[in-house]
Amino acid sequence: MTQDDVQFGARLCEELKKFGRFDLITRRFDYGAIQRLKAADRDATVKLFQGSPYELLQMLKTLAPKEMALQLIQLHNAAATNAAITGMMGAL
């Protein structure tokens, strides 16, 4: 295992904090799960995200922590944009 794999959860959290988007973790997980994530290797991180879309789980298995953080932000932004468009269309 590489250093990224061993400390994957902690590194992912740190990268999200650098981008000011740690809220993407705190919205999903309670305090106990966040602590487990911070101690998790790559495999344990994937298990914490069980129930997520297949594509997200595959990214967790392959991307470096910084790349994964960027993908999570991008996915969140796309979902928020889609929700806003749907809301506007419903108002018509």
Domain residues for the domain of 36 are: 3-90
Nearest-angstrom CA–CA distance, 87 and 69: 27
pLDDT at 79: 82
pLDDT single digits (tens) 1-59: 676 678 999 999 999 999 999 999 999 999 999 999 999 999 999 999 999 999 999 99
Nearest-angstrom CA–CA distance, 23 and 6: 23
pTM above 0.75, yes or no: yes
Domain total of the chain? 1
Nearest-angstrom CA–CA distance, 89 and 67: 33
Nearest-angstrom CA–CA distance, 74 and 92: 28
